[in-house]
């Protein structure tokens, strides 16, 4: 058996190492996702009261933005555990969008409670995804980790507020603004890291 044949077999038998998600695609996705969240927050701040057809449409739109973002993320990453997390989040957010359409017709408390429950689960998924993406290629992922943790905590508080005497949907604008800013910061950090690596001597 020749050395060349041995090397070829070793390459075929060796397990393929999962590659990190493409940095340039994530940079664009995070930036667009962040800007859309901030724009949504501005629109919802003006249109959430009363809880009419426009407000309900906005409530449906926000988790749909997350669902589409997760689907794009899923299509742009290698086949590994990260894809399962983003697929889960895409399905979760799609169901949340449908649920928000129904809950919005029932009242403020129901809409706030469902949004909070979705924020808890989606935040936990984002936290796990951020932990898996930490590394040389995508950095420490601190904005995503902080955003995921805050989403979990704030979502819990929304569920509690929904059980109170005077629940309000005004807080959702703050939630979306915070999430959008963290996405934009993460996009900026990815751009900075790419710039630093291009300047580094090879």
| Angle made by CA atoms 36, 85, 92, in degrees to the nearest 5 | 60
- The confidence score (pLDDT) of residue 31 equals 96
Residue 152 has pLDDT above 90, yes or no: yes
**Lowest model confidence (mean pLDDT) among 43-47, 82-86, 139-143, 171-175:** 139-143
Burial class (CB within 10 angstroms; exposed 0-12, middle 13-18, buried 19+) of 127: buried
Residue 1 has pLDDT above 70, yes or no: no
Whether 9 is in a domain gets the answer no
Average pLDDT, integer, range 71-81 = 83
What is the pTM (predicted TM-score) of this model?
0.85
The alpha carbon dihedral of 115, 120, 126, 130 has a sign of positive
CA angle 202–18–7, rounded 5-degree value: 75
> What pLDDT is attached to residue 6?
41
pLDDT for position 5: 47
Tell me the mean pLDDT in the region 166-181. Answer: 97
Average pLDDT on 95-115 reads 98
Is 129 a member of any domain? Answer: yes
Residue 45 lies in a domain: yes
Q: Is position 171 within any domain?
A: yes
Q: Which of 58, 64, 61, 52 is nearest to 105 (CA)?
A: 52
Task: Note whether residue 18 is domain-resident.
Answer: no
Residue 82 lies in a domain: yes
* Mean per-residue pLDDT over the chain, rounded: 87
User: How confident is residue 78, by pLDDT bands cut at 50, 70 and 90?
Assistant: confident
Number of domains the chain is built from: 1
Residue 92 has pLDDT above 90, yes or no: yes
Q: Could you tell me if residue 56 is inside a domain?
A: yes
| Predicted local confidence at residue 136, as pLDDT | 67
Residue 6 lies in a domain: no
- The answer, yes or no, to whether residue 8 has pLDDT greater than 50, is no
Domain that holds residue 69: 23-199
């Amino acid at each position: 058996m020749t050395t060349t044949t041995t090397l070829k077999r070793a390459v075929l038998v060796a397990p393929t190492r999962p590659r990190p998600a493409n940095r340039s695609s994530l940079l664009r996705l995070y930036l667009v996702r962040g800007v859309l969240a901030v724009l949504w927050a501005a629109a919802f701040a003006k249109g959430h009261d009363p809880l009419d057809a426009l407000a309900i449409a906005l409530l449906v739109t926000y988790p749909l933005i997350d669902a589409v973002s997760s689907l794009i993320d899923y299509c742009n990453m290698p086949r590994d555990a990260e894809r399962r997390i983003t697929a889960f989040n895409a399905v979760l957010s799609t169901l949340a969008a449908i649920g928000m359409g129904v809950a919005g017709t029932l009242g403020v408390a129901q809409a706030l409670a469902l949004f909070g429950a979705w924020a808890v689960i989606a935040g936990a998924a984002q936290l796990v995804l951020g932990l898996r993406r930490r590394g040389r290629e995508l950095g420490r992922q601190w904005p995503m980790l902080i955003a995921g943790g805050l989403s979990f905590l704030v979502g819990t508080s929304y569920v509690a507020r929904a059980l109170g005497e005077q629940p309000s949907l005004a807080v959702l604008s703050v939630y979306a603004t915070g999430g959008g800013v963290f996405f934009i910061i993460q996009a900026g950090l990815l751009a900075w890291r790419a710039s630093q690596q291009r300047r580094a001597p090879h």
